[in-house]
């Protein structure tokens, strides 16, 4: 006579572990594949110009991400800039950069980077390009 065990056996646990591991590994691979296929249509890579590349270099060398966020990445000390171009426009961004620091009481001060007109144009092009990336409505509100 064979006894039927009503409990949870080691073999059952092992089978669930291996089956679950295989399932979630396949699920992970499918999600990676799906994401990799969608990146080209969402990244706006076709719009990268030499001015965008130069603007990104300014963004990096001036450590803008040390205070600002860009598409949710970076510090939360200063406003999100992923959508600053549609919010304010290029002329405003350049004027704002030139006017720093504002010495407004009660406000944190942005440093003066002394960017020339070409550098300002390049930075604006980078922020314009960033605003055209399909982020699926990130940031969630217009003010970042």
Q: Both 69 and 103 in a single domain? A: yes
Percent above pLDDT 70 for the chain: 95
Q: Both 37 and 55 in a single domain? A: no
Q: Both 96 and 140 in a single domain? A: yes
How much is the pLDDT for 52? 98
Q: Is the confidence at residue 51, as pLDDT, over 90? A: yes
Q: Both 10 and 64 in a single domain? A: no
Q: Both 51 and 20 in a single domain? A: no
How much is the pLDDT for 144? 65
Q: Both 76 and 144 in a single domain? A: yes
Q: CB neighbours (10 Å) of residue 142?
A: 8
How much is the pLDDT for 106? 81
How much is the pLDDT for 2? 53
pTM of the model: 0.77
Q: Both 26 and 64 in a single domain? A: no
Query: Which residues share a beta bridge with 80?
Result: 69
Q: Which of 12, 27, 43 is the C-terminal boundary of a domain?
A: 43
Q: CB neighbours (10 Å) of residue 140?
A: 8
Q: Both 124 and 64 in a single domain? A: yes
Q: How many domains does the chain have?
A: 2
Return mean pLDDT, the chain: 91
Per residue in 71-80, pLDDT tens? Answer: 989 998 899 9
How much is the pLDDT for 3? 60
Cα–Cα distance for residue pair 101/57, rounded to 1 Å: 22
**Domain harbouring 55, CATH code:** 1.10.760.10
Percent above pLDDT 90 for the chain: 73
Q: Both 62 and 2 in a single domain? A: no
Cα–Cα distance for residue pair 78/13, rounded to 1 Å: 51
Per residue in 89-119, pLDDT tens? Answer: 999 999 999 999 988 888 888 999 999 999 9
How much is the pLDDT for 5? 58
Q: Both 64 and 84 in a single domain? A: yes
Q: Both 24 and 88 in a single domain? A: no
Q: Both 105 and 135 in a single domain? A: yes
Q: Which domain holds residue 15?
A: 1-43
């Amino acid at each position: 006579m064979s006894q039927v065990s009503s409990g949870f056996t080691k073999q059952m646990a092992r089978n669930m572990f291996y089956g679950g591991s295989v399932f979630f590994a396949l699920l992970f691979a499918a999600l990676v594949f799906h994401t990799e296929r969608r990146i080209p249509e969402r990244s706006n890579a076709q719009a990268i110009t030499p001015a965008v590349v130069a603007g990104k270099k300014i963004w990096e060398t001036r450590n803008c991400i040390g205070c600002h966020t860009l598409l949710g990445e970076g510090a939360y000390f200063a406003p999100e800039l992923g959508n600053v171009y549609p919010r304010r426009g290029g002329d405003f961004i350049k004027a704002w950069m030139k006017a720093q620091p504002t010495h407004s009481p009660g406000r944190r001060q942005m440093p003066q980077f002394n960017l020339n007109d070409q550098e300002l144009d390049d930075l604006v092009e980078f922020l314009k390009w960033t605003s055209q990336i399909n982020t699926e409505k990130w940031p969630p509100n217009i003010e970042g």
